[in-house]
Structure 1
Amino acid sequence: MSTDTEGDGPTTRIQREKHEIILEAALDVFANHGFRGATIDQIAEAAGMSKPNLLYYFRSKEDIHQTLIARLLDNWLAPLRHMSADGDPLEEILDYVRRKIDMARDFPRESRLFANEILQGAPRIMDMLAGPLNELVREKTTIISQWMAEGKLAKADPYHLIFSIWATTQHYADFDVQVRVVLPPEHSGEERFEEAKAFLESMFTRTLTP
């Protein structure tokens, strides 16, 4: 019986540790192979346990993937939730850009997992996209539109503004290999994220300053 799908989740320390080991291993497998290419056997091998042992904690590959996606989406939306209507408009936007670049640096596998799911048509997360993601984006675009109407930001389409932030920041996770190969060697290390952050801050500042 899967402890993950029982409502309360793993109940003992050992169960919680095994649960996290499986999810960590599955994140690598799904990020590298996508949902369709990943197998329970691959995940079990990466987790260093037998397939029957793994299936004690999760009923199926779908259960593991759903758990990872739900956790990922919650973390992925946190920077957008942080955007406050009471803050300085331009600084709120730039802070969102910074947080998204930091996530591209710190959580590249999660970004690729999400991108793989979207490229397949989002069959397993459509409810999440149509529900929590859509609601949050509507809330924040309303705030951005109000800032623009008050002359605090240059006028632009607030939805496409958010899309452009997603595209320009998550690129550094989803296409990391390409970024490192194309950049000159002296700029292809960890500093590439700070350089990207500085460039994007400058670009969005010029775009949004009234």
Structure 2
Amino acid sequence: MIASFSEERFPLRVAFGTTGGPERRTDIVRLSTGYENRNQRTRHSWRRYDAGSGVRSVEDLAAVLHFFEARRGRMTGFRFRDPFDFSSAAGGAAPTAFDQPLGTGDGETTTFTLQKQYGQGADAYRRPIRKPVPGSVRIGVAGAAQGDGFAVDATTGTVTFATPPAAGTVLTAGFEFDVPVRFDMDHLSVNVAAFEAGDIPTIPLVEVRP
């Protein structure tokens, strides 16, 4: 049986040169008064990429072809490193235990989900992080970095504390992360002669909810 998601990462050297980013869908109705009603269809954005722009050599093409076949085209999702947004720290800096809010202890809850915040205050968007890079997660409790006392599930983005954090305790986290995506095509058209003449293939990827 073919898995619906693979924890293998898309070739990193190709990912660094891709184009793409977040997408949202907003319904806009213009009223007769000139004002607009705007409604967002989904709570969370999703991302689209074109990995074709990251292909720089015939070797890159071969690596993508191999990866495409292993994933059975659109069948199986996989990890992808967004070259623009892969760290909890600003500007892609190394993560610290205090980069992002994780939650607030209530004396009972032990499991929290990693998230990355965009913006400030009530208007901030909090993006769930489901695919942290194994070994990259740092945890802070009440302003102190923790070396143990918690476990991270790198396949779901959940952090489980051995002991429930006390009520009112501020929890923070830092991490690197991948985006869960799949190929958005079942046909990979490769032409080596055209590539050498400057024709870069289109390799669309779309974010999924694993």
Could you state the TM-score of these two structures normalised by the residue count of structure 2? 0.26
Q: Higher helix share goes to which structure?
A: 1
Q: Higher strand share goes to which structure?
A: 2
Q: Which has the higher contact order (CA 8 A, sep 6+)?
A: 2
